[in-house]
Amino acid sequence: MHTLSNQLKDVIAQHLKNASAHDVLTIASALCGETQPRPQVFARNLVPQLEIVDDDIAIEHVTGLTWLRAFVPGGRRNWRDSMAAASKIDVRGWKWRAPTARELLTLPDYEKEQPAINTIVFPGTGSDFVWSSTTRGDCAFGVDFYNGNAYWDHLNNDGFLRAVRVGQP
């Protein structure tokens, strides 16, 4: 069985070397048990579809999320303090919160770095670590917008926070 597994890996690796983006998506879809690839999912993750509404907010049209354009006021802070600050935001009288890991991962623009985000939509954004609300043990998930890398960081470390809400104005 081990030899068959290695042979399968070699065959897939050979196909991936020369594969187009659509072919990679087709292979991944087949490995996940899907009969047809979903190109809109692949395309969506390449560049966020953001629109500036005004000085305070922007909309990500694929997900329907509304984002505050500035970081949550107060600068860098640990995860617990960041979550508390997110719950106190009062912009337009709407309820804001910290993004989940999946929501936060819609923001990196992997065609950019230092920072890997659209700085026209999110002015003043540096190459900084940004928290999500997603936790595992003593760690929380976040994105380093230096290059868009995502990883788990200890809850006591410092990071910035972006606030989000579901729905559009």
From CA 69, how far away is CA 52, in angstroms rounded?
8
Residues across the chain: 169
Does the pTM surpass 0.95? The reply is no
Number of independent structural domains in the chain:
2
From CA 89, how far away is CA 103, in angstroms rounded?
18
Q: Which two tokens stand for residue 107?
A: 């923001």
Q: Based on the domain organization, do 32 and 57 belong to the same domain? A: no
What's the pLDDT tens digit per position in 1-44?
Answer: 567 666 766 776 666 666 555 555 566 556 555 555 444 444 44
Q: Based on the domain organization, do 77 and 100 belong to the same domain? A: yes
Report the CATH number that the domain containing residue 107 is assigned in CATH.
3.10.100
**pLDDT exceeds 60 at position 168:** yes
What's the pLDDT tens digit per position in 75-125?
Answer: 999 999 999 999 999 999 999 999 999 999 999 988 888 999 999 999 988
Q: Based on the domain organization, do 149 and 73 belong to the same domain? A: yes
Q: Based on the domain organization, do 32 and 77 belong to the same domain? A: no
Q: Identify the pLDDT of residue 62.
A: 82
Q: Based on the domain organization, do 76 and 159 belong to the same domain? A: yes
Q: Based on the domain organization, do 71 and 96 belong to the same domain? A: yes
Q: Identify the pLDDT of residue 143.
A: 96
Q: Based on the domain organization, do 119 and 133 belong to the same domain? A: yes
Q: Identify the pLDDT of residue 133.
A: 97
Q: Based on the domain organization, do 103 and 151 belong to the same domain? A: yes
Q: Based on the domain organization, do 154 and 99 belong to the same domain? A: yes
What's the pLDDT tens digit per position in 32-56?
Answer: 555 554 444 444 444 568 899 999 9
Q: Identify the pLDDT of residue 137.
A: 96
> Is residue 74 within 8 Å of 140, Cβ to Cβ?
no
Domain that holds residue 126: 49-166
Residue 142, beta-bridge partner list: 131, 151
Tell me the average pLDDT of the chain. 83
